[in-house]
Structure 1
């Protein structure tokens, strides 16, 4: 059934009749709705969000004509920002990583077991430390060294390797991407930050957490923007800790949170469950 599934995401001003208009349109063209989530930001006059899944075997028109007709008969009337995607158009995903492997290995393991609906095309690193581990999964591994003197050239090489991908995941890639780089991938780069943002932004958050004597540590998966660690948050997780934990123990506990938070965020993106609205996300998980 998955290969026959289409997904419709909608953002528009809220007004009566949206659900009826969308569902009637799909019914009249042979689609069967199998899942629908919605959210309105206010009881009246707010913004309306919808994620809808429908089955396509009995559609009476092509995908292109369906999109064109939906725009003309429904979307334009309700001033919708919308898109339709199809589950059989498998997204291509690339991963950037440095030396720490836990987030990368979690993604590769889930992908190899069929839990991530994508094609992992490549892993790119600024070090060669993980080449053998990645090679066991049959995924191409590329090393692009980065330093303060070659950053422009290195990013150009990475951009060339990324061409054709739909999503880039920073699985503890310990380099700051330039604004020019990020601009080319709007809401298509996901980062895992090893703290519960907006606390402890920047480097060494576990040391920062230890110094503050926190009772919760966490991780945050977010879309990357030109503003460091300020992009729309997709998912977060926490672990309760006490004064007994050392910095190293906090790091070990935190890495377990990181791998799961990142995997959930990536899967939700791949399944078209995330709508970005301003600097926030609506996640229909």
Structure 2
């Protein structure tokens, strides 16, 4: 059974003893087999994500949801169940601020059929991109105050209401809190305007300019509670001329931001990429993808001289 055929159960709440045992016992008693379980605690907030095979469950879907909701109330945690077959298309929730290029690229890809998904909702912390969403007949919600600070409780309600399979940060210029990240662990993809791990945080193009880099780039990565340190999915690079201004770097980088974000979204939706020990890796049948630079770079990269045939002077450098 593939990952997309498994039912996903997410448990989030205050950390307490016995949470895992209570939930897994309930599933065992209803004939549900746990295929994968991941759990973490951050700042006393507990998150557990399970992928289970419910095909031979002794209860129907609504009964299971009701039983887990009742257990969640008893444990004072939030329990959510997502069945993979409840709709045909995978659904995106796209989070934005004021830059339109990534949102427009994703909307165009969905509208043209280039991306096999639907956009359930666009959520902004400013109202600026409402016209873009409405041009594609996608609901838009502004959850930001006058300064753009988002109401994350409202954001969580919207993500639940539209039942997002994947949360896409299309130049969303805010840090998501752990309450959001933990609920959607492994299902939030961000685009960052640098070749991470270089230049994390704000004003990455300016950081690159001030550092005098000769090659700059962009990165699509999964979001974790550590800022810009989540598993990298794909990267693209471009030349940074000596006389380049910050605006020059932005003009060169923004089309690649849209390109690499779309590529990462496609990889995720196709289940062609997996996270293992904090890194992403392509699944066996995804050999057609090129996550870094293309074949032209391989041809231009010299293959000699090397230290082949000599003892490794410092194995720690490997």
Question: Would you call these one fold, judging by a TM-score over 0.5?
Answer: yes
Deviations 1:170-226 (A, max 9, x none): 000001111121111110000001111000011101111111111111111111111
Specify every segment of 5 or more residues in structure 2 that has no aligned partner in the other structure, as ranges.
Answer: 5-53, 57-83, 287-318
State whether structure 2 residue 63 is matched by structure 1 residue 64: no
Counterpart of 2:197 in structure 1 is 198
Report the Cα distance in structure 2 between the residues aligned to 1:228 and 1:241, rounded to whole angstroms. Answer: 25
State the number of aligned residues: 209
Report the Cα distance in structure 2 between the residues aligned to 1:224 and 1:89, rounded to whole angstroms. Answer: 26
Counting only pairs closer than 5 Å after superposition, residues 246-265 of structure 1 correspond to structure 2 as 246-265=245-264
Any conservation in 2 of the 1:196–1:220 contact (CA below 8 Å)? yes
Deviations 1:105-147 (A, max 9, x none): 1101111100111111000001111111211101001111147
Report the Cα distance in structure 2 between the residues aligned to 1:250 and 1:149, rounded to whole angstroms. Answer: 25
Specify every segment of 5 or more residues in structure 1 that has no aligned partner in the other structure, as ranges.
Answer: 1-5, 10-62, 66-84
Report the Cα distance in structure 1 between the residues aligned to 2:209 and 2:147, rounded to whole angstroms. Answer: 30
Counterpart of 1:134 in structure 2 is 133
Deviations 1:76-108 (A, max 9, x none): xxxxxxxxx78x842111000000011111101
Counting only pairs closer than 5 Å after superposition, residues 79-118 of structure 1 correspond to structure 2 as 89-118=88-117
Which of 159, 163, 168 matches 1:162? 159
State whether structure 2 residue 222 is matched by structure 1 residue 231: no
Report the Cα distance in structure 2 between the residues aligned to 1:93 and 1:212, rounded to whole angstroms. Answer: 36
- The alignment yields a C-alpha RMSD, in angstroms, of 2.6
Counting only pairs closer than 5 Å after superposition, residues 144-183 of structure 1 correspond to structure 2 as 144-146=143-145, 154-163=151-160, 164-183=163-182
Counterpart of 1:210 in structure 2 is 209
Would you identify which runs of 4 or more consecutive aligned residues in structure 1 move more than 3 Å?
A: 6-9, 146-151
Report the Cα distance in structure 1 between the residues aligned to 2:169 and 2:122, rounded to whole angstroms. Answer: 10
Question: SS of 2:274's equivalent?
Answer: strand
Counterpart of 1:56 in structure 2 is none
User: In the superposition, relative to structure 1, how do residues 148 and 272 fare at CA in structure 2: closer, same or farther (>3 Å)?
Assistant: same
| TM-score, length basis structure 2 | 0.61
User: In the superposition, relative to structure 1, how do residues 207 and 119 fare at CA in structure 2: closer, same or farther (>3 Å)?
Assistant: same
Report the Cα distance in structure 2 between the residues aligned to 1:8 and 1:158, rounded to whole angstroms. Answer: 26
Any conservation in 1 of the 2:125–2:148 contact (CA below 8 Å)? no
Counterpart of 2:26 in structure 1 is none
State whether structure 2 residue 197 is matched by structure 1 residue 219: no
Deviations 1:210-267 (A, max 9, x none): 1111111111111111111111111111112210211101011011111100000000
Counterpart of 2:119 in structure 1 is 120
Report the Cα distance in structure 2 between the residues aligned to 1:256 and 1:171, rounded to whole angstroms. Answer: 12
User: In the superposition, relative to structure 1, how do residues 149 and 106 fare at CA in structure 2: closer, same or farther (>3 Å)?
Assistant: closer
Deviations 1:147-172 (A, max 9, x none): 78975xx0000111111111100000
Report the Cα distance in structure 1 between the residues aligned to 2:138 and 2:269, rounded to whole angstroms. Answer: 19
Q: Name the structure, 1 or 2, with higher relative contact order (CA <8 Å, separation 6+).
A: 1
User: In the superposition, relative to structure 1, how do residues 209 and 119 fare at CA in structure 2: closer, same or farther (>3 Å)?
Assistant: same
| TM-score, length basis structure 1 | 0.68
Any conservation in 2 of the 1:234–1:283 contact (CA below 8 Å)? no
